[in-house]
Structure 1
Amino acid sequence: MGYNTLPRRKRRTPKNCSNDIKAAFIENCSGKGDRLCALEGGLTIFIRMSETRMLDYQRATAELFNVIRKPRADQPFSERQFEVSDRIISLIKSSTAQTTIDDIVKQMFDDFKTPTQDAETCKNMMRHFVFAVIGWSTLLYTPIFTTADADFKIAETQSKRSQEKQSIIHIEDSSRRPIGAMLGSHGLVPITCPHNTRLPQDLPSRLPVTCLNLCSLSQLGGVTILWVDDLSKHCEFSRYSREKQLKLFRLPSLCAKICLSDDSETLIDRLFKSHICRNNCQFNTKSVGKSYLTEVLLSYRLLFGQHSRSRRLFRGQELERAKWNGTLDPLLGVLCGNKDVDDSTGIVELLHERNVYNVQDSFPHLGLRLAELADYISGQEPNDFLEVWNDSRNPEKLLTLKAAVKIGVATVILGIFQVLLGTAQLVISIYR
């Protein structure tokens, strides 16, 4: 029997990016601090989400990466993307309020000592990559890439049932504007500006848990939940839309990780504080980003966790819809599906739960969106007795109704019993 003595060709399989590279990326995006086990599941989704978005840019950035940095032998392309992304994030974190995308592009080419001609050729592609990195490192928006010569694009809808809509941002003008100002002008910096802005007088300033919850929203207002990947869309709602969709961010673990970080200023803090608006708004607080993200975490408790029927609705209907590629952020399940938040999450001290929330005190940034939602549901009336019975917006009125119904039912039952008893006595007396 003969044997093949020729050397076998080794089958080369693509290598995955190392866990250390991924861990460094998470830390650069969300700040330094302990990695709590309760947040690991959600942060794993964040990495997978980032890798998925990076794949859309892989073919387009191959030439760019070869120009700025020669790859190491057998280095996975995803690892190169993470390394370049980390460098861009570090530059943004150390930037000023006047730093533009073009400033970051120039710094990147200078750092990698890219020849002038190559830098000019790849300038637009690097602009797109910087814009994309800001999106997938903060999850403020979902960038869409077509060609290097095209304008910036972001996804506006993330529903599988509807055709994807896109928002276009002019690449030349946007690349020359300060990054924070550019994002703010397109609604991608979801903070109240100027700080402590008062609500319009026609909107409620108090948010009772008995009124603003998923149960009331869905049963009385016909509101449906659209779980989104973009943090800037959290609690977005339009009462005039046909679908009546309330958009909610599906990855609270990233918010919690940033809130619990040891860094005085994280990436999202830098972007929020440098938004430069027409009001010449300046935030004196050290961490406006953490303040906003704490409100995001608390909003899940208001809409779901503090209301028993809303918790049951989440577990029965929304839990599957909130999953990303079949995986649920465990912290989302805790915030929306549990009566109490476990100490292991590390965020108990951040959540100052109340039965009635003051918009200005508890939600200085999300308050306008929540107040508009509360105003919408306050104007909805029950259509049948079952909806009246389950309407908890006015507890005193509901308690009076239930008491009257129960007393009425008891009175009727007692009356029927007395009639039957009288009939029985009559029959007995006749047969005697």
Structure 2
Amino acid sequence: MIPPQMFNIFYITHDQCTTESHWELFIGISIRVAESVIQNSSITIDKVIGNLLDEGALAPEISAENLNYARYFIFIILSYQTMLYSPALLAPASSVPSQLSIIEHTGCCMFTHAVHTLNIEECASETLSELLMGFGVLLPSKNLCLEDDEHMNNAFHEEVEVNVKQFNAHALHHLAGIKVKWTDSLSCHLEFDSTTKEVLLFRFPSFCQFSLAEYKGGKGRGVLHACGTTSRLRCQWATEAEINQFLAEVLLSYRLLFGQTKSSPGLFRSIDPFLRSKGQNRNLKDPLLSRICAERSCDDLLGGLRQNLELVEKDTYYLPRDFPILRYRFVVLQRQLSTSAPRTWVQLWRDKRNSAQWMTFWAVIAFGAFGSLMAFLQVLMQAVQMLQ
């Protein structure tokens, strides 16, 4: 909810305003913001505001107080157009904002978000990529390891393959005890929270599909692509081409986790990705999520996006090639899975990561149980003979 005082930046008569008129105003300004961002390289929030002033979309004379409201309003619009972060919405009675703030209701990522607040006057004159870099690595580049730990670095370079039969949502949940938590922030997809043992998954794959289809269809880049870096000095931040790769990897990761094994779709159906807390919109759902996670084949969904992208389902994925952007996050989850030992008989039965070892273990159990049963029956027969 946007507080009413934020609409003071517009040239409107508040006595005649309604919720519907505010919504129409928000949509209209959003379209103009998107056009400004897409058409102008290295644009800043203040330049976007300048363009809106030139077009007459804002009140001709903006006070210093309303200027900060305008900056925060653009920041909110950019969050919906990129889906990279969730802005901290201002309360109706809040003071004039002095900081741009993000808040993750569905969990905070240790490496993705370095900070949650930035000085509004300092970052409003920075390009969008520079501004977003201030919050952390929201758009990582290819084959980037975000860990200084030596063991993690070794694992990053050694564990380069992911086998679908061994690594999937069912195995993560039942063997490693990892729970799925859905997030509205694309930048948090596949981030693992070690304190709560939760993996965050983006709940709106249609955004990724639409952004890729628009770009590949020749309609040009969107606002998300405009946030890519063009500087060679920013080696940790994604370029425009890497953003396409990132979107493709997010779509393919749903198939790897849920769609390529028989047991994982059942896990997906047992959870409600769009179960929201009281007061939130419960009707906002993405039908693509159910299709891409629960159907046996998604060739009709992914086939049209495969041009110049690795969007092919495989039994074994090579991370540096198939998931160069999400590679680090897969390694973190794979290490968590490999270090988790079964603790119950049910987990032992489900743990088929090493099929040869699994068959050997249960064969020993079966033959041992059979041998014990035969020995017991032999003792029982001898006892009966002695009694006779």
TM-score after normalising by structure 2? 0.79
Separation in structure 1 between the aligned mates of residue 353 and residue 85 of structure 2, nearest angstrom: 34
1:83-162 equivalences under 5 Å are 83-96=28-41, 98-112=42-56, 117-118=61-62, 120-146=64-90, 147-158=95-106
8 A Cα contact 2:178 2:198, kept in partner = yes
Shift of 1:229: 0.8
Q: Which has the higher contact order (CA 8 A, sep 6+)?
A: 1
- Tell me, yes or no, if the aligned pair for 2:68 and 2:96 is still in contact at 8 Å: yes
SS of match in other structure, 2:317: strand
Q: Do 2:175 and 2:342's aligned partners in 1 also have CA atoms closer than 8 Å? A: yes
Q: Which residue of 1 aligns with 2:169?
A: 214
2 CA distance for matches of 1:206 and 1:320?
32
Conserved in 1, the CA contact under 8 Å of 2:180 and 2:199? yes
Structure 2 counterpart of 1:184: 133
Letter in 1 for 2:39: S
SS, match of residue 133 in structure 2: helix
Return the letter of the residue paired with 2:22.
Answer: F
Give how far 1:238 is off. Answer: 3.1
Provide the secondary structure at the position in 2 that maps to 1:254: helix
1:67/1:329 CA distance change after superposition, 3 Å: closer
Name 2:329's counterpart in structure 1.
369
SS in 2 for 1:365: coil
Q: Closer, same or farther in 2 for the Cα pair 1:275/1:134, shift >3 Å?
A: farther
- Residue type of the alignment partner of 1:131: F
Distance 1:180 1:247 in 2: 23
How many pairs does the alignment contain? 358
Q: Does 1:397 align with 2:357?
A: yes
SS in 1 for 2:153: coil
Q: Deviations over 1:172-191 (max 9, x none)?
A: 11112211111123126332
**Mean alpha-carbon deviation: is it higher for 130-139 or for 143-152?**
143-152
Distance in 2 separating the partners of 1:281 and 1:149:
28
Gap change, CA 1:280 and 1:305, over 3 Å in 2 = closer
Q: Aligned residue for 2:119?
A: 170
- Secondary structure of 1:260's counterpart equals helix
Amino acid of the residue matched to residue 33 of structure 2?
I
Aligned equivalents of 2:252, 2:33: Cα separation in 1 = 31
- Checking the alignment, whether the CA contact within 8 Å between 1:69 and 1:112 is kept in structure 2 is no
Larger radius of gyration: 1
Change in Cα spacing, 1:73 to 1:382, as seen in structure 2 (3 Å) is: closer
**Secondary structure of 1:248 counterpart:** strand
Partner of 1:266: 222
Shift in alpha-carbon separation, 1:115–1:84, aligned structure 2, 3 A = closer
Question: For residues 266 and 337 of structure 1, do their structure 2 counterparts lie closer, same or farther at Cα, with a shift above 3 Å needed?
Answer: same
Report which stretch shifted further, 87-96 or 120-129.
120-129
Q: How do 1:348-359 residues align onto structure 2 when only pairs under 5 Å count?
A: 349=306, 351-359=311-319
- Partners of 1:101 and 1:176 within 8 A in 2: yes
- Aligned counterparts of 1:417 and 1:320: Cα–Cα separation in 2: 55
For residues 69 and 216 of structure 1, the distance between their equivalents in structure 2, rounded to whole angstroms, comes to: 56
The yes-or-no answer on 1:77 pairing with 2:22 is: yes
CA distance in 1, matches of 2:316, 2:272: 24
Aligned to 1:62: 7
Cα deviation for residue 59 of structure 1 reads: 1.1
Aligned equivalent of 1:334, options 291, 295, 298: 291
**2: CA distance between counterparts of 1:183 and 1:307?**
37
- 2:35 aligned counterpart, secondary structure: helix
Say what the alpha-carbon RMSD is for the aligned residues.
3.7
- Within the candidate set 383, 390, 393, 2:343 is matched to 383
**Contact 2:175 2:341 (C-alpha < 8 Å) held by counterparts:** yes
Residues 107 and 404 of structure 1, relative CA distance in 2, 3 Å threshold: same
- Give SS of 1:155's match: coil
Query: What is the match of residue 255 of structure 1?
Result: 208
Pair 1:245-2:198 in alignment: yes
Question: Do the aligned residues in 2 keep the contact of 1:298 with 1:351 (CA within 8 Å)?
Answer: yes
Task: Specify the SS of the correspondent of 1:169.
Answer: strand
Structure 1: segments with no counterpart, 5+ residues: 1-55, 160-165
3-state SS of the aligned residue for 2:199? strand
State the TM-score, normalizing by the size of structure 1.
Answer: 0.72
Structure 2 residue runs without a partner (length 5+): 108-114, 146-151
Shift of residue 275, structure 1, vs aligned partner:
7.6
- Alpha carbons of 1:136 and 1:74: their partners in 2 closer, same or farther (altered >3 Å)? closer
Conserved? CA contact 2:170–2:263, under 8 Å: yes
